Amino acid sequence: MLTGRKIPVIMAVGGFDPSGGAGILADIKTVSSLGCYGVAVLTSVTIQNTRGVLDVHHQSAKTVRDQIAALEDDFQVSAVKTGMLPTEEIVDALATALSAVEPRFLVVDPVLNASAGFDLAGISMKAIIGRLFPVASLVTPNANEAARITGITIVDRESMERAGREIQTMGAQAVLIKGGDMGSEEAVDILIDSKGVLELSGPKIHSSNTHGTGCTMASAIAALLASGRPLREAVRMAKAYVAAAIRTAPGLGHGYGPVNHFHAMADHGAEG
């Protein structure tokens, strides 16, 4: 129970994954398990399971605008985390609404594809770059997304850093390039912030239970920033949180399974 201070409210703006591994369900689970209160703005209903995305039903800009207005009218939002933003109109509605929400932190996960390959945001990436990067506290592309955003071929640490710096020149205060999908045995991420460059390295966990790790990482960072952690500490802690979530994944589904968002909570065991 929190006493003496208000629980930070995190607004997750993204798609609905009915299997619960990615999108706003993953966001809400993550921020809840890290001691924050999550509210969510739905941008698209995706039809998917752990095997892949079968279809998408994008919401209108008005639906997105109205959800944000209802929340903004009632809550003080500490941090906004964005994921799947499938249309330019939705990005515009969100960018305009942000000036009323006035979050202290904006974490932009520039989602392009689902783990299984489905294109979730290809057509709106220009708008995300133009309208959200300039007001972002942090942008969190994986190597593939960073390559698509910058046109830089990413093969090693040096090219990751170059792409990160390029994204910083697009207006983001800080950029985290996640190299977990790259070939090496280490999961190396590169953070570029106002202090310079920080390399974060951890052993790669070989697992097919990686569905929604990008959503989870960005949401964990948003929750930790809103809880008062400095950026570098928030990123380090979020990386450890995601690694433990993959390690303790429940092993559900037949494709890319979900991670365990609640690994830090006590296991009280099953009765009977």
Chain residues in the site for ligand PXL (CB under 6 A): 14-15, 17, 22-23, 46, 48, 83-84, 111, 114-115, 120, 212, 214-215
Query: Is 213 a known active-site residue?
Result: yes
Smallest gap from Cβ 120 to ligand PXL, in A, equals 6
Smallest gap from Cβ 228 to ligand PXL, in A, equals 27
Smallest gap from Cβ 43 to ligand PXL, in A, equals 8
DSSP secondary structure string, the chain?
Answer: ---SSPPPEEEEEEEE-TTSSSHHHHHHHHHHHTT-EEEEEEEEEEEEETTEEEEEEEPPHHHHHHHHHHHHTT---SEEEE----SHHHHHHHHHHHHHH--SEEEE----B-TT--BSSGGGHHHIIIIIGGG-SEE--BHHHHHHHH-----SHHHHHHHHHHHHHTT-S-EEEE-TTSSSSEEEEEEEETTEEEEEEEEPP--S--BTHHHHHHHHHHHHHHTT--HHHHHHHHHHHHHHHHHT----SSSSPBP-TTTTS-------
Cβ-based nearer residue to ligand PXL, 23 or 180: 23
Cβ-based nearer residue to ligand PXL, 23 or 103: 23
Cβ-based nearer residue to ligand PXL, 24 or 129: 24
Query: Is 196 a known active-site residue?
Result: no
Residue 158: other Cβ atoms inside 10 A: 10
Query: Is 36 a known active-site residue?
Result: no
Cβ-based nearer residue to ligand PXL, 33 or 115: 115
Smallest gap from Cβ 81 to ligand PXL, in A, equals 11
Smallest gap from Cβ 216 to ligand PXL, in A, equals 9
Q: Write down the catalytic residue from 213, 216, 239, 257.
A: 213
Q: Write down the catalytic residue from 82, 87, 150, 210.
A: 210
Distance CA 235, CA 49 (A): 28
Query: Is 253 a known active-site residue?
Result: no
CB 84 within 8 A of CB 15: yes
Query: Is 178 a known active-site residue?
Result: yes
Q: Write down the catalytic residue from 14, 20, 23, 212.
A: 212
Q: Write down the catalytic residue from 178, 216, 239, 257.
A: 178
Q: Write down the catalytic residue from 15, 215, 239, 257.
A: 215
Active site residues: 178, 210, 212-215
